[in-house]
Amino acid sequence: MSTTPHPIRSDIAWATPNKVVVHGYDLPNDILGTVNLGDIAYLSLFKTLPDARESIVFNALVVALVEHGLTPSALVSRLTALGAPESLQGAVAAGLLGLGDTFVGTIEGSAKICQSLPDDGWQHDENLLQRHAQTIVDDARASRMSIPGLGHPVHKPNDPRAERLFEIAREQGFDDANERLYRAIRARAEDATGKVLPINATGAIGSIAGTLGVPWNIARGLGVMARAIGLVGHILEDREQPLAKPVWNWAEARSTDHRQ
């Protein structure tokens, strides 16, 4: 008995000899020269271009994570490019592989916190919001897990990126329930630990992404999109101003000293 296979297809884009269409938009005539990179990223996620308010907020989210100095992912990309200078894409990919639950990937965790709460009206009930915040902190402490989106080794008492992102979202008229939740979580966590735990950039991005409607299990992708751009910049700088080779030489010298 023969069966008809399901068609192999994607509804994202299609092309003919003289036309390219992306989510219903004519790429050469409707997008090129008109739509910026952040808005195209929004189109990829939501299948429509953002309105003016959505564009401002979404672009701010992705721009915030393009660059943060000599992070582990930037160092990995530089070192990989040193060993395989012919493979820029491989060096960028190597850096992106490090976007886990310590760096950048915490966007996913913070978005999940905001999107996993019961639909019990906590957004408009301060008592419920505070109760949920306390439960989140208590559960994290009981499991000896850190809360994604809280804390930063450099930015204290506040992460300026997070504060500005929250401000931009409010300026554009977006609901601030997720922001208020995260501020309550921070306050409860600081009370419980006695530590200064700022809401970091990924905490703000994850909570605002939830407000925009980005599913929590794709939210990490915002960091992947953004950081890929920054890693290309690091590879370019390393070609003009080498850093990876001195780092390698330093590590090799330390290893030799240890063997002696």
For the chain, how many structural domains are there in total?
Answer: 1
Q: In this structure, is residue 171 part of a structural domain?
A: yes
Report the candidate in 182, 172, 224 with the shortest Cα–Cα distance to residue 41: 224
> Does the residue 90 lie in any domain?
yes
- CATH number of domain containing 117: 1.10.230.10
Provide the mean pLDDT of the chain. 93
Tell me which of 6-10, 67-71, 215-219 is least confident: 6-10
Claim: this prediction has a pTM higher than 0.85:
yes
pLDDT band at 259 (very low <50, low <70, confident <90, very high): low
Selection from 212, 191, 208, 211 nearest residue 200 by Cα: 208
Burial classification of residue 134, based on how many CB atoms lie within 10 Å of its CB (0-12 exposed, 13-18 middle, 19 or more buried): middle
Residue 258 binned pLDDT confidence (cut-offs 50, 70, 90):
low
Pairwise CA distance, residues 234 & 244, whole Å: 10
Whether 19 maps to a domain, the answer reads: no
Task: Report residue 70 CA to chain centroid gap.
Answer: 17
Tokens standing for residue 149 = 């989106």
Query: 206 with 111: CB under 8 angstroms?
Result: yes
Alpha helices (H) in 47-105, listed in sequence order? 52-63, 72-83, 88-96
Q: What pLDDT score does 9 carry?
A: 86
What is d(CA 112, CA 25) in angstroms, rounded to the nearest whole number?
Answer: 31
Query: Side chain identity at 135, as an amino acid letter?
Result: T
How far is 123 from 111, CA to CA, in rounded Å? 15
Structure tokens at 45: 């996620």
Residue 151 covered by a domain: yes
Residue 217 has pLDDT above 60, yes or no: yes
142: which residues sit within 8 A by CB, 6+ positions away? none
Three-class secondary structure of residue 67 per DSSP? coil
Identify whether 169 is part of a domain: yes
For 106, phi and psi rounded to 5 degrees?
-65, -10
- Judge whether 231 and 93 are in contact, CB under 8 Å: no
Could you tell me if residue 4 is inside a domain?
no
The pLDDT-based confidence of 256 (bands split at 50, 70, 90) is low
In which domain, by residue range, is 86 found? 50-260
Q: What is the amino acid identity at position 216? A: W
Nearest one of 72, 44, 68, 75 to 58, comparing CA atoms: 44
**CB-based contacts of 76, cutoff 8 Å, min separation 6:** 94, 95, 97, 98
User: Residue 39 phi/psi, 5° resolution?
Assistant: -70, -35
